[in-house]
Amino acid sequence: MKIRISNGRVIDPMSARDEVADIYVAAGKIVSIGAAPADFHANRTLDASGLVVCPGLVDLSVRLREPGFEYRATLESEMLAAAAGGITSLACPPDTDPPLDEPGLVEMLKFRAKNLPGPRVYPIGAMTQKLEGMMLTEMAELTEAGCRAFTQADAPMTNNQVLLRAMEYAATFGFALWLRPQDVSLARGGVAHDGAIASRLGLPGIPVLAETVALATILQLARETGARIHLARLSARESIAMVRAAKAQGLAITCDVATPHVHLSENDLVSFDSHLHLVPPLRSLRDRDAIREALRDGSVDALCSDHTPVDEDAKQVPFGESVPGASGVELLLPLTLKWAREMGVPLMQAIDLISWKPAQILGVPGGNLAVGSYADICIFDETADWVVTPKALTSQGDNTPFLNHPMQGRVRYTLIDGHIDFEAPR
């Protein structure tokens, strides 16, 4: 299909383009921006007057819940939800059941995803067999099957010798490791930030030390091995300071944070709402403000949704007994826009954090609007007001701490490979 996107505000962080222009799409590619190509006759014209046209969003952490957790969500439902959120590429963690530790499982997931409407799915392979932290997986074979990097997800990593071997192996073959720093012994049994709020509520705490001690180990091993490390979902001010220092020393590291940690803190736990039970936990206002500033100054490289759909039965229990996680693919864009407005950040910089930069971290095409590139495009209304309700979300999991919160900014169209995979109802 040949598509003309007319009169939109085209924002492309890669090329620093910010102008009102038409975009022309043919054969799944962007063929021109501005003037129409010769003999171009659009099968459909999308009027983007008053709308923003940007690269399709790239989300670094989306749990699709298959295989093994179909009772929480299905591949089909979460792919549609991601498209509704403007996401055209996503990274899928390996903590499925069974974990993504064998090439056949990765190939099966990619095959299933390819035959469904929705974003391009890039699996992140298990770093150790069954995510048990003992024996390394066959990373070379998993890479051939389609894995873009390797991680333990939220599974504990207690053996630093295994972590060292993983980094040495990854450095030798050029693989990337995505690690969420948390010392399991310091965090054991905790469900909330270890502070005054958790003490008052009687919730067992997870100290900031659980993150910084593990992070110090990761950074030291990275210095020794030269491995390429992505630090996933940092939550503490001290962690961000350590990352700043490591980057200044030339370490090949990047990092991201999840959108709930940009807007919420331990103060929100006073309601005992189990939708606020997240991993890592919501920390202090000081930590939240440090995250917001680090996104603005570039110390944090990307924002992700950390989309984790959970069935309602697992949330309708006391806070400490609930399953952690929040559904977030459809809130990635509006929560990013909210942060940008509150911090006085230009729209291009905000879009960069959820498109071009994560595409670079993931090492995939996308996240830009270059002529000749895949037509993965998000068209949104930055002024559209709406309220987060279960009916307003496509995801099978409506477990979000932002239920009944007003939002501003909503996707109107999502194009993936030149095909309109999502169109908002009028």
Positions marked catalytic: 306
Three-point CA angle 1, 51, 308, nearest 5°: 80
Rg (CA), the chain: 21
User: How many whole angstroms separate alpha carbon 91 and alpha carbon 230?
Assistant: 13
Cis peptide preceding 390, ω within 30 of 0: no
Contact 337, 318 (CB under 8 A): no
Cis peptide preceding 98, ω within 30 of 0: yes
State how beta strands 205-206 and 228-231 pair: unpaired
Give alpha helix (H) positions in 285-331: 285-297
User: How many whole angstroms separate alpha carbon 34 and alpha carbon 20?
Assistant: 9
Residue whose token pair is 């993504």 = 100
Closest listed residue to residue 154, CA positions, set 133, 174, 180: 180
Beta bridge partner(s), residue 410: 381
**Dihedral sign (CA 127, 130, 131, 132):** negative
User: How many whole angstroms separate alpha carbon 300 and alpha carbon 257?
Assistant: 7
Residue whose token pair is 């073959």 = 173
Contact 169, 258 (CB under 8 A): no
